[in-house]
Amino acid sequence: MRVTTTLSLAAMLIAATVTAATPTDAPRITTEKATITATVVASGLDHPWGIAILPDGRMLITERSGRMRIFEQNGKPSKAITGLPKVDARDQGGLLDVAIDPDFARNGLVYWSYAEAGPGGNSTAVARGRLNAKKAKLDNVQVIFSQKPKVASTLHFGSRLVFDRTGALFITLGERFDYTIREKAQTLDSDIGKVVRITPAGDIPNGNPFTTRPGALPEIWSLGHRNAQAAALNPNTGDLWVIEHGPLGGDEINIAKAGLNFGWPVVSFGKNYDGTPVGTGLTEAPGMTQPIYQWTPVIAPSGMIFHSGRAFPGWKGNLFVGGLKTRVLVRLELSGNTVVKEERILGELGARIRDVAEGADGHLWIITDDANGKLVRVKPAT
């Protein structure tokens, strides 16, 4: 099915209550005068989760049930790629993010995250393999990381994959939505509620902050995260930005620098789902880093990019974030590390936006999280 709609950004603006990390600094919601075209190029995807654009413009897309396929820009899919390990596809678990190696043109390596079953339950794992696109096959597949410990939960896998400028791989990891386990987001003896950083082969790279700390897992980069399902490298600074789900309120944008503690579950801008306070009931504490921005009510963030400005020059450097609960694409204007304006677009699609990517021409590609998920191309109206 192919459906094209031209949407005025003014028409797509959704009124929302937005609160900055400092509540008195809420940015204005603005409306652009430009128009965009959103075209559904493929449908029938089974809860698509991650999208990675190949050098030739085709796209690798994961579906939570365990299928990875290559999509042409016209929406035509390949057959399912073979060679992936078995995934634990229950609730929020399954086949999750996908990324290509920075040197993909030479080595053909693809990386993906998934829920891996094992003794004690399951956890987020990352594997890599060499893509044979002609045969829709991954060769020489190896698991390069498994979150420790495994937990009897089907929730909060985190799971975005981002390469830094040195070629090391960041992996965001959830705290598994277990009240007896989530406290481990504050300890260094597990990967619960962490961002970790490994080499492409799964070793420990130079620069990790806790490699000499007794009892600490050397892969840990930052801690105190809840469930980060959005992550991207800031092209100006090289810093990793992550956006994590809050509970009842308190979705957070954090700049995940080495060794920082972002507070979960000691402090939060949200409440537990039963309405009780999280941890101390406070929003800040000594030694814990404040978010640069937060949403209450939540948007349920998933997927993010910094836009190059190639297709939308007026949006150069803007942050685009998928919204699951709000069913919008969120556009944030930045001044350095400060969010100064927010706009919510593509609301007329009425879809949970799971991930967003940018093609070589600057057009945006989004996937929608549904049993009949869609691949949508977003470009300037002509």
Task: Give me the active site residues, please.
Answer: 156
Length of the chain counted residue by residue: 382
Cβ–Cβ under 8 Å, residues 95 and 66:
yes
Reduce the DSSP state of residue 185 to 3 states and report it.
helix
Where does 165-279 show beta strands of DSSP type E? 169-172, 194-198, 220-223, 228-233, 240-244, 251-255
- CA dist 379 and 382 (Å) reads 9
Alpha-carbon gap, residue 60 to 68, rounded angstroms: 7
DSSP 106: H
Residue 98 pairs in a beta bridge with 112
Amino acid making up residue 261: N
Cα distances from 112 to residues 38, 41, 96, 169, 188, in angstroms, run 27, 24, 7, 11, 24
Calpha distance 104→136 (Å, rounded): 16
Question: Angle CA(233)–CA(235)–CA(237) in degrees, nearest 5?
Answer: 85
- How many CA atoms within 13 Å lie on the side-chain side of 80? 12
| Backbone CA torsion sign across 113, 117, 119, 122 | positive
301 SS3 class: strand
CA 184 from centre of chain: 21
CB atoms < 10 A from the CB of 35, how many? 15
Cβ-Cβ contacts under 8 Å for 286 (sequence gap 6 or more)? none
Give every CB contact of residue 331 below 8 A, 6+ residues apart in sequence.
Answer: 315, 318, 319, 320, 342, 343, 344, 345
- Per DSSP (E only), the strands in 194-271 are 194-198, 220-223, 228-233, 240-244, 251-255
